[in-house]
Structure 1
Amino acid sequence: MEKNNNEVNRREFLKVTTKFTAATIFIGLGSSALFGANTGNQKKMSIPTVTLNNGVVMPRLGFGTNTLADAVGVRSVSEAISVGYRLIDTAHIYGNEAAVGEGIRQSGIDRKELFLTSKLWVDFAGYENTKKAFETSIKKLGVDYLDLYLIHRPRGDVKGSWLAMEELVKAGKIRAIGVSNFDPEQMKELLSYAKIAPAINQIETNVFFQEKDLYPLLKGSATQIEAWSPLAAGRGGIFSNPILAAIGKKYQKSIAQVCLRWHYQRGVVTIPRSSQKAHMIENLNIFDFELAESDMQTIATLDLNTTQFPEWK
């Protein structure tokens, strides 16, 4: 993935266009908040939430961890939690579940305050394999339940995997289940036998790939859209795009903040990833401005209608 040049571009743009403070953003997701109780004394800015189709409450902005492994992963997760993230996303294939778990422990936060996601990889599709893979994941993470468990890709015995995940929900081991990278036909097939409808479809969507076919279908369904790599992992020159830069200058916001706000206004949950604490904080500061409809329409013109991650196809 493109890292060095994009990271430099992002930092330079931040210096020029953004005046932000390193204020901590906080969301309380303890058991009382999850069931709608009013805590009454939160003075810090809260990350907005969405209620999934089974009543579970999920933050609309979280922290992605793909490629953040070993010591970097531990530090990044701990720092992300310290600055206010409560939704943490990982997966078996990332090879960092143990690091994520250690980062959570080092943060000192109560597990119940977090919304933790992991994903089932294709090698473990099927009923029995899914149950074993789930147990391996929670053991590595050092937790006894997941808030969200996703089928990472629509491969192999999806039906068997879904049945196992439904049973894990009933057993209280998973609070919500969903899928990732499922297209409309694959969603239709899943819904033909699912007793529990998927709460999430985590897909590639960004300003260069706006999913103009899948997006409206999901928006009109009971399945919440979540974007992996919502900043396109820096690909396509996103952090030096002149159109996004001009919009950012208008609001005194960075390109990353403009993109994340665009997702937010489209009703998409996002999980941006960064190993830089300043960027973690920057990504949280998107709730004090609103993109005008004209800016939303301008961003729509950036759609190339093609994946920025061809290696995933």
Structure 2
Amino acid sequence: MLKNISWIKSTCCFRNANEPCRIIFLLNQGENANEQSNRSGEWRQNSLLGFGVYKIKKGEEFERVIREAIRVGYRHFDTAKIYGNEEALGREIQKSGVPREQIFITSKVWTTDLGYEATKKAFEQSCKKLNVTYLDMYLIHFAGPRYLEAWKAMEELYSEGKIKVIGVANFEIQHLKNVIKSAAHIILRWHLQRGIVVIPKSSNPQRILR
């Protein structure tokens, strides 16, 4: 099933052998070869080295740190609703004069905003605070209740062009497997709706039924 996903990038670290502390699953669905090439080029250029803004003090210190990060060449900034600094980050990016298309912004939906409608609302609120019309990457911060409904909402936002890359953070293996199943079904349907021949393979009776 995974070979039907255009591309996946994941990073993980482990506190011990049984406790994954961070997994990111990035899904890029159904683009043609040129679009994949263009977007992967943008990914390499703008996003491989990101600047995290967690726990940076608000006010003058925050402004100074972000200005310096932009000055020395950072173009990927990682924030989240729970960090409480989306608005301040958006303001400094605007003041920098760097064109929006040269900035890669990541934000995350918090556990209290998981669910189909709640996630869409949280996304719009983050965009408003950051003063942008789209996000380069949007992640589910933790696998709280209704995370699969949140993922569905994010897939729709991706299809609408409002998010360039969707993913998750701090997921355990089973949570990630559930998301991959959901994504694989959508990708199969996308191909079938366009008259593209799809030949999935499985020896598992439950997966054959699906």
The two structures have a TM-score, normalised by structure 2, of 0.66
| Cα separation, partners in 2 of 1:162 and 1:65, compared to 1, 3 Å | same
State yes or no: 1:124 paired with 2:113: yes
| 1:234-283 per-position Cα deviation (integer Å, ceiling 9, x unaligned) | xxxxxxxxxxxxxxxxxxxxxxxxxxxxxxxxxxxxxxxxxxxxxxxxxx
Give the secondary structure class of the aligned counterpart of 1:193: helix
Partner Cα separation in structure 1 for residue 109 and residue 68 of structure 2: 26
Structure 1 residues 11-160: aligned runs within 5 Å? 51=40, 56-57=43-44, 58-68=46-56, 69-160=58-149
Structure 1 residue 35 displacement after superposition: 7.5
Residue 182 of structure 2 aligns to a residue whose secondary structure is coil
- Could you say what the CA RMSD is over the residues aligned between the two structures, in angstroms? 2.3
Residue identity in the other structure for 2:62:
G
Q: CA deviation at 1:172?
A: 0.8
Quote the Cα distance in structure 2 between the aligned partners of 1:70 and 1:183. 35
CA spacing shift, 1:187–1:36, aligned 2, 3 Å: closer
The answer to whether structure 1 residue 173 and structure 2 residue 162 are counterparts is yes
**3-state SS of paired residue (1:132):** helix
**TM-score scaled by length of structure 1:** 0.45
Following superposition, the deviation at residue 77 of structure 1 comes to 1.6
Tell me which residue corresponds to 1:184: 173
- In structure 1, stretches of 5+ residues that fail to align are 1-33, 38-49, 198-313
State the distance in 2 between where 1:80 and 1:102 align: 14
Greater strand share, structure number:
2
CA distance in 2, matches of 1:74, 1:160: 36
Cα distance in 2 for residues equivalent to 1:166 and 1:59? 20
Q: Distance in 1 between matches of 2:173 and 2:79?
A: 24
Matches within 5 A, 1:174-253: 174-195=163-184
Alignment correspondent of 1:164: 153
> Residues 70 and 96 of structure 1 are in contact (CA less than 8 Å); yes or no, is this contact kept in structure 2?
no
Q: How many Å separate the matches in 2 of 1:138 and 1:87?
A: 16
Is the 1:128–1:164 contact (alpha carbons within 8 Å) kept by the matching residues of 2?
Answer: yes
* Counterpart-to-counterpart distance in 2, 1:81 and 1:163: 34
Q: Which stretches in structure 2 are left out of the alignment for 5+ residues?
A: 1-34, 188-210
Percent identity of equivalent pairs: 46
How far 1:56 moved relative to its partner? 4.7
Larger RCO (alpha carbons 8 Å, 6+ apart): 2
Q: Which residue of 2 aligns with 1:303?
A: none
